[in-house]
Each structure stands twice: as C-alpha cells, then as structure tokens.
Structure 1
Amino acid sequence: MVKLVLLHKADSIYEDEPDVVYDFPRAYLKAVREAEGDWIVYYEPVKAGARGYFAVAKIQRIIPKPGVEGRYLALIEPGSYLPFDAEVPRLVEGRPLEASLTEPDGSPKKGGAVQLAVRRLPEADFARIVDLGLPQDLERREATRYNPVPDDLAEQNTPFQRPILERLTRRPYRDVAFRRKVREAYDYRCAMSGLQLRNGGGRPEVQAAHIRPVERQGSDAIRNGLALSGTLHWMFDRGLISVAEDCETILVSRNKVPGDVVARLLRPDGKLWKPSDRKNWPSPANLKWHRENVFGQVVTDEPISWG
C-alpha cells in the first residue's frame, strides 16, 4: 500500500465527492490501486490563492465508473474523511511539502510532477502535512479556546504525542475537528433559528450536528453537518424537524411540535441559513437520507415538554 495526494477541483469534469468517491481516468489506475486500503490527502489549487491540502480520507476500494469508459471510482471508506482544521499551503517558507515536487536545492519544481492529479506521498510527507492540518493539540486548543489554562497549569496540559493514524481514527479527536469546522462554516450561527448566541465568556452556544450519523455511514465532512442550537439539535436527531427536497425549507413534524414552539425556535421565513461558502452547503444526498430515515420515524420514550 502507498499514500497519495489526490487533486480535487470543484469545477472539473470529474464528479468527485471527497467524503464519498474520487473520480479519475485510467492513466492513474495503477497508482490508485496501490493506495487501496491506505490513506490519501486531498489537494485543491485555487487561482485566487491556493487552497492547498484540505482533508484526509482512506480509500476502501476501486471500481470502474458505471457507463463511462476509461474512468474509475475510488470509494472512500465510510467515516474516514476528515477536513483539516487549517488548510495547508503547498509551500512552507518557499519550500514544497512534497519531496517529489522539490528540486535538489529545495526550490519548487515546475511542470511535470506538479501537474499530476495523483501523486505518491512518502510517509514523512504525509505525517508533516497532517500535523500542519490537524495539530496534535487540537483538543486542548478547543478546550482552552474560551477558558485559557493558567500558566501554572499549562505544563500539566501538554498533549500526549499520539501517532498520526491513531489520531485520525480516535472519535473524540474527530468530534472536536468536526465541531470546529462546522461551527466556523456557519459563522457560529444556528442554521434553523438564525441566532448567533454566545455565553458570558464568549463561548458559542451553537452545536455541530451530523445530518447522517457516522455510525450509519455518515462522514465528518462539513457538508454532512449543520450548526444547530442545543434544542434544535435534539429535535433534528429525533426526527421532529428536517430539511425539504429544495435543501432550504425547514420541515416540522406538526403533529408532535406545537405551532407556538415552531414560531419561537425557527427563522420567520422557515428557511435554512446556509454558509457563505457554497462548498460547505449541506449535502442534498445526506438531507434526503435524513428525511427518509429519521424525520417522523424516530420513536423515543423521552417525555417532550415544550413549556
């Protein structure tokens, strides 16, 4: 097995969905087959200023693309995709992070390997890129973000140096990474109430909800998340509310949720408040899954008090 860098362009002819599938031509089949069962890093160049490396994922298996001669699909292992907390530039202090893109004097190569959509990635390069995108101390950073640890306690909070792959598969770490990215994408505003509430210490009250739960083949992609207040998160997970086929109209289980509660909790226009960056809008496929598998179908013994 071998690790890879996979080039992704949102406006390309290839129908990628980074947390689900990577679409590629036959020319790269040998290299991608070598990475079957291993981790990859996604990279996206942007003309206005390179987005750079933006996520990791694991290739589960490769299949021919149905109905398209000469194209293949790398299926992403469910639950493996994780966006970087901070996107990583291709160059750091003028030097590429990939050895294959570096001249002997440390300067960046031009053309050739730089243009490849699939590049083999040595373990050391993979570790360096992941460390920059998903820092070891991410959990501590989040825990102390609005309540800094006093200097005399800082030494006690030195993070345990976990191996890269252990960090990528630990649920607590992934939950923190997911929460940070989803709340940031929604500007710390609840997608259904439109409110941007913070407590006295400046801590955002909004939570990050998975549209399709990880344990039911959902991912930690921003597009599988909604920023919601605690109450609306609870209602969403229990199928009392959802989002319509137009991906913006909020659906309410009217026989279970009183009208005055709807008026108090939801935006007056009944529409979803979405991120400013379109690439972070909720996935239509995941919203459809929630409508068909959760909305109006979750049975709970918990008493509902709308007082």
Structure 2
Amino acid sequence: MSAPTFPPGDFPCVLLTIRVTDNAYADSDDAYVYPARYRAALAPLEAGQPMLALIYEPRHGGGRMAYVAWALLTTPPEPLGKGLGGQQEWRVRYDGGLIPLPRPVAQEVSGHVFETLLRSVPRELRGPAQRGMSVRALVWEDFCAVLEAAGLIPRALDTQLDSVEDMGRQRVAVERLVRDRGFRLRVLSAYGWRCAVTGWSAPPDLSHALLDAAHLVSVAQGGSDGVRNGLALTPTVHRLFDAGMVSFTFEDGLWRLQRQQSLDDLRLEGAGSRLELVHGQPLILPSDRRLWPEVGAVSQSA
C-alpha cells in the first residue's frame, strides 16, 4: 500500500455515527456500513481521494455523546446489496482499524460547539437535529479542533495574527498523523503482522493496538517512511530500541539483534512469561527480500 497523498488545501473529512448497542448495521472497528442515501458525504473517497473520518457515539444506543475515535480512509466504498428496509447498503473500511482518541471529546466543551453545522442549534434540539445525519461532511477546522481537544495535535493560538501560521501547524500535525498511520500499515503488512525479534504475532484487526512499526532511522534524521526503513516490533522491544538497549546490524547476509550491556541490568521476565533477547539472533523478516531493511541503514531510535 502506497502512502496516501492529499491535494493542497483542506483534507476532506466525514463524521460517522456509531451506536454502542442496537447496532443495526453491525459496524465494527474495521468497517462502517451505511445506506445509499449517505453516499454524497463519501463522494471524494468514491472518486479515489483519501479522506479522514471522525467517529461519534450518540446517546441513543448507550453512547457517550462524544467524539471517540478517528480513522484514515483510502479504499473506495464497496456495495453490499440491499439491507434494512430493502435499502442498498455500502461498506467503507478503515485503514488498519479505528484509532481511539486519547480521551473522548463532547460535542460542546466550555460553551464551544465543535461542529459548525450544530452551532446554531439549541442544545436541547441537537439530538433531533442529528437524526437522519448519521453520516455527514465535516469541516476541516472542526476535525482539527476535536483532535486538539483530545490532545493529538498542538492547540492553535487564539490570536488572529497567528491564525495563518496556526492553520499551517495544524495541517503539518495532521499530515504527520496520517503519514505515521500509513507507515505502520505498510510495515506491519510486510512483516505478516509479526514482531521481527520475538516472533509474536497478532491478527490484523488487533495489530494496530498490539504491534508497533519502528523507524530504523528516524524521520528527523533523514529516514524515510518506506517499508525498508521499518521493523515490526512489539511495544516492549520498540521501547528497548528507542532507549538504545538493543540495535540491529547486517552480518553474514542476515539482519541480527545486537544486545547492549545496559540491557543486562533489566529483569525481562514475570509470572508465566519471559522475554528472550539473544545477542546475534537473526530477525524474522519478510519473505520478499526487497522489503528487508536497507543494508547500511544506521540503527537509531524513531
């Protein structure tokens, strides 16, 4: 999967409403199903343009009345046939699954209503106003404001003087989120959803929470977001790599683990489990050698 690219200007965004219970469309963490009447909100994706989705839980269905997750959409929706009430249904897949926000964000915080569409609607009428609008286009600035409130991107300054600079900063921050998401998916897929060091694996629908994609050379130091600059690692091994306690070198035609002396002071075992990290052990790499790390890459934390 190639890295998603966006045209200049604001990213196309969409809001998807998901019920925690009474989920008639059987939505999941991997895909969202919707009737044909909502196709217009996802028209850019149908035309082949990637989109960003914000996930909202309404009160009806046991939700938190809050924005709870986001997702990257790059695959055009697929028709499913007729579903509820004989309506044509479509399914859109999240690239790598939903990404939970660090903290849920209510529709209104300290008097500020995040969606432009709802700002003129009295609070007591917002619920009824959203009926029949489970899928709706979302303004780019509103999407960014929710991510700011959740702590995912830096909060913009409130001064008019800095508004242009703030918008640029927002765009760079979101682009980094999207790029990181694409890098993770490409690396984990190449490695078969398996840690290159331990061999521990997770199914694709859980890997976004249980496996990391580590840069061999950080982007800040000139590393790319290509698969050959990445390794699939468990979070523990990734943290050890970031801390400089393990590294990776190419020797005798194989990529091998290098165990640093500082690792000897750690206790890497617990009740019923033990993490074995043997100096010189070969890494578990993709079957396609073209996806192996580049020989000569310098092992540095991401």
Q: TM-score range by the shorter chain?
A: 0.3 to 0.5
Taking structure 1 as the reference length, what is the TM-score of the superposition? 0.46
What TM-score, normalized by structure 2, do the two folds share? 0.47
Structure with bigger strand share is: 2
